Structure 1
Amino acid sequence: MLSLNHRIGASRGFIRAFSTTPSRNADLAKLILIGRLGKDPELRFTKSQKEYVQYTVATTNYPPPPPNASGSRNEAKTTWHTVLSFNPGVNNYLRMLKKGSQVFVETNFELREPDPNADPDTPQGQRQIFLRHESIRVLKSPRSTSEEENESLE
């Protein structure tokens, strides 16, 4: 049977295992998007000819904003998110996805500060959020043209 002091000592060791000391290698910034692909994913190349896939996810804020002073509501707003994937194994899969697919996407993100020497009207002169693909799940495939035609005939 364990003595009270031994159990307290053991539990203290357990507490130390979950220290609140910051660990730089565990820092993370993640963004989850649930929306629709705005267009088919595109294969692109960096300046050094490294292949990557770029795709865009449209999300709409829901519920819509609260009513204003007159009692009317503004329309829900759509936001377009550009995501980049540098993983060759995933890129082939991404390129098969179609515009309109409803997707669940996990990304890592990095906030990039503007270049102080750049024109503020250019992308380089503005703060940017860089979204790097981590995972994607297709929740619903887009309707094909033949499905839409069959439904309209019914």
Structure 2
Amino acid sequence: MAKLLLIGRLGKDPEVRYTKTEKEYISYGRFQRVRRPPFRYRARAHVEIGAQPTTTWHHVLSFNPGANNYLRTLKRGSLVFAEANFELRQPDPNADPDSPEGQRQIFLRHESPRPS
């Protein structure tokens, strides 16, 4: 099992969705500011020169009813801290490579919210 700690602002309001078996879940996205790989390093000091900040989006799903009640109260721009389980799914060899099923997917399953 792999786990991620995410801190970021919501890119849009969390959405209530349902699985094929009618189980409710919340889908939400957040961003995190990261730095690109440096253009060059100073000798021995390993100081980044010329790195520019970028935005990385993370799409998270929550199946926890208690967490979902909290997530429903949040709006776009809310600062959120969450723990999420990380799962990498390989593409379906029979699917169209341009479809989501035909591409490698990263699933972040929300474990616990923490108000910021």
Determine which structure has greater relative contact order: mean sequence separation of CA pairs < 8 Å that are 6+ residues apart, divided by chain length: 2
Structure index of larger Rg = 1
Uncovered stretches (5+) of structure 1, i.e. residues with no partner: 1-27, 140-154
Structure 1 position 66 matched with structure 2 position 38: yes
Q: How does 1:98-137 map to 2 (within 5 A)?
A: 98-137=75-114
Q: For residue 90 of structure 1, what is the aligned residue in structure 2?
A: 67
Check whether the contact 2:26–2:63 (CA below 8 A) recurs between aligned residues.
yes
Q: Deviations over 1:51-104 (max 9, x none)?
A: 000110111104x542459xx735311111111111112211111011111121
Partner Cα separation in structure 1 for residue 112 and residue 64 of structure 2 = 11
Q: Deviations over 1:27-58 (max 9, x none)?
A: x2101111111111110001111100011011
Higher strand proportion: 2
Q: For residue 54 of structure 1, what is the aligned residue in structure 2?
A: 27
1:66 is aligned with what amino acid?
P
Q: Deviations over 1:95-127 (max 9, x none)?
A: 101111112111001110000001111110000
Higher helix proportion: 1
Size of the aligned set, in residue pairs, is 110
Segments ≥4 residues shifted beyond 3 Å:
none
Supply the RMSD in Å over aligned alpha carbons. Answer: 1.9
Scaled by the length of structure 2, what TM-score is found? Answer: 0.85
Scaled by the length of structure 1, what TM-score is found? Answer: 0.65
Uncovered stretches (5+) of structure 2, i.e. residues with no partner: 42-48
